[in-house]
Amino acid sequence: MNQLKVSRVVANQVEDLQVISRSTFFETFAAYNSDSDMANYLEKDMSIQQLTSEFNNADSIFYLVSSDDNIVGYLKLNLINLEGSDPNKKGIEIARVYVLREYHGSGAGQLLFKTSMTIAQENKCDYIWLGVWENNPRAIRFYEKNGFVITGNKKFILGDDVQNDFIMVRSI
């Protein structure tokens, strides 16, 4: 088995981030969504301009997971509270976590999750939260296995399609 390594994304890696972002999102959702909705989302939400803007946001942190020298997944964290949550508690959002399909079960996803927990603890967060598509049972099981519970719903817009995400939360 190849050695997995997590590293924080630096400015000159935004193009690498775009490649893995587009690859993993397409691989995960293309079979369930229209070609035009996928193309619109990838063009707008995963453009170099958009990812650079997100990278430059002081409340966002990106990490890459690599196997040898190959990038196999990534993580985006946002240092923001869940809307409507207790204002006296501090939260962090797992905004995106994706691993190439061929690396599912390799430990790459678990390594990214552990990274998110470490960052949450370093930032003295009380909880960690995320949104996950209601039609993604594999991801839901992964999060449940890691202590998350469904607490609500939120809308996710993919092109012209309004989808439902479950909000999942875990105390730290």
Give pLDDT tens digits for 9-58.
Answer: 999 999 999 999 999 999 999 999 999 999 999 999 999 999 999 999 99
Predicted confidence at residue 74, as pLDDT, reads 98
Type of residue found at 18:
Q
Q: Is 15 helix (H, G, I), strand (E, B) or coil?
A: helix
pLDDT digits (tens, 9 = 90+) for 117-140: 999 999 999 999 999 999 999 899
CA–CA gap between residue 2 and residue 127 (Å, rounded): 32
Beta strands 127-133; 4-8: pairing state: unpaired
Tell whether the model's pLDDT for residue 1 goes beyond 60: no
Q: Is 49 helix (H, G, I), strand (E, B) or coil?
A: helix
Query: What is residue 81's DSSP assignment?
Result: P
4-171, CATH topology level: Aminopeptidase (3.40.630)
Q: Model pTM?
A: 0.93
Residue 12 CB neighbour total at 10 angstroms:
7
Q: Active-site positions? A: 143
CA–CA gap between residue 115 and residue 62 (Å, rounded): 11
